[in-house]
Amino acid sequence: MLCVVIDQQALLLEDRVTPSPGPGHVLIATTASGINAADILQRRGHYPAPAGWPVDVPGLELAGHVVAVGPDVDPQWMGRHVCAIVGGGAQASHVLVPADHLLVVPEGVAAAEAGGFAEAFLTAYDALALQAQLRASERVLISGASGGVGTAAVQIARHLGAHVTAVTRSAHHGELRALGADEVCHPDQVSDVAPVDVVLELVGASNLQLVLGRLAPFARVVVIGLGGGNRLDLDLRILMATRATLTGSTLRSRSHEEKSALAQRVREELLPAWATGALRVMIAGTFPLTEPEAAYAFFAQPGKFGKVVLTQAAAP
């Protein structure tokens, strides 16, 4: 199988032996693999893969077709078009995935869109619906709303019935409104936003410092991105006065069982909307798996709208 390999921060292509699925796993011939900020960090040596996942092959999400199943896996998975999150190794022509983490891709969804769904939508759904407990009619502010997780979060918040304020430095205001944002603003305009019940912080310390003054009573702040820094001077009086909670979340290091439970929630609550087109994966750019350096360079540029995805023809 063909893999993207991190070698002293360079991205190389390498042929390796195609693995066979063991108990509880399937083998997927990938058609698309999303690129995420975690891949950039891993390339720099800052975000190693959890135990049991490839240490030098990046990639946290993929889509493709099941070409082999483990001895205790339902054979009806064979040939299905699926997507999934993994702990690493997704940027390869073949990937082993636990069967209970699979999501069936709806009919008619293109390969690139399928490859960018799992990480963005599971991350955003977990943060908004499970960590923040976002409810209909509440006000939510989403920082970094133009990225892959941000565009997913805007749609999920709308799907949950919330009033959505999207914050972005990009010029994609019209596109964010089309996805369901009730208002869109630059970070410098956050001080004009009405108090919010939930903050989904995708940028980090630089943006979080701006939004802490816009918390409604009992607000919930969930941090899931650190591109704008990981340290800030926090005035605890804000949390005391609003009785707000501040927490953070990651998916990569969670247990097999936690990821299985999250996948089941997404199957029940998001896949029907994806199948009807009510939820969509925004694609900023696609690159062949054989051009990872170009793809990563594009990912690092500001101003993108949506996901960057590596694509390939399905391998036998």
What CATH number should be reported for the domain holding residue 220? 3.40.50.720
Token representation of residue 274: 């994806």
- For 272-307, write each residue's pLDDT tens digit: 999 999 999 999 999 999 999 999 999 999 899 999
Give yes or no: residues 202 and 305 share one domain: no
Looking at residue 257, its pLDDT comes to: 97
Q: Does 210 lie in the same domain as 63?
A: no
Q: Is 12 contained in some domain?
A: yes
Q: Is 238 inside any structural domain?
A: yes
Among 248, 275, 300, give the residue marking a domain's end.
Answer: 248
CA–CA gap between residue 5 and residue 15 (Å, rounded): 10
Domain boundary among 210, 232, 248: 248
Three-state DSSP class for 188? helix
* Residue 39's CATH number: 3.90.180.10
212 and 64 in a common domain: no
CB contact at 8 A, 249 and 126:
yes
Which of 231, 248, 265 finishes a domain?
248
- Sign of the CA dihedral 248, 251, 256, 259? positive
Looking at the structure, do residues 101 and 137 belong to the same domain, yes or no?
no
- Asked if 185 and 266 sit in the same domain, the reply is no
| Pair type for strands 25-35 and 103-104 | unpaired
Residue at 185 is within a domain? yes
Same-domain check for residues 102 and 14? yes
Bridge pairing between strands 215-223 and 103-104: unpaired
Q: Same domain for 205 and 143?
A: yes
Terminal C-alpha separation, the chain: 10
pLDDT tens-digit map of 28-85 = 999 999 999 999 999 999 889 999 999 999 999 999 999 999 999 999 999 999 999 9
Whose structure tokens read 């135990």? 51
Rg of the chain over Cα atoms, rounded to whole angstroms, equals 19
**Which residues are registered as beta bridge partners of 307?**
283
Give the confidence band of 314 by pLDDT, cuts at 50, 70, 90: low
113 lies in the same domain as 9: yes
Same structural domain, 6 and 100: yes
Domain region containing 151? 121-248
Tell me, yes or no, whether 150 and 193 share the same domain.
yes
**316, part of any domain:** no
Residue 94 lies in a domain: yes
Cross-sheet strand order for the sheet of 163-167: 183-185, 163-167, 139-143, 196-201, 215-223, 245-248
Structure token pair of residue 251:
């998916």
* 79 part of a folded domain: yes
Residue 282 and residue 226 in one domain: no
On whether both 139 and 243 belong to a single domain, the answer is yes
Q: Which residue has the tokens 């089941």?
A: 264
- Whether residue 275 is contained in a domain is answered as yes
Q: Is residue 114 helix, strand or coil? A: helix
Neighbours of 301 (CB within 10 A): 10
Among all chains, which residue has been given the structure tokens 């891949």? 39
Give yes or no for residue 316 having a pLDDT over 60: no
Chain segment 125-153, per-residue pLDDT in tens: 999 999 999 999 999 999 999 999 999 99
Domain total for the chain?
2
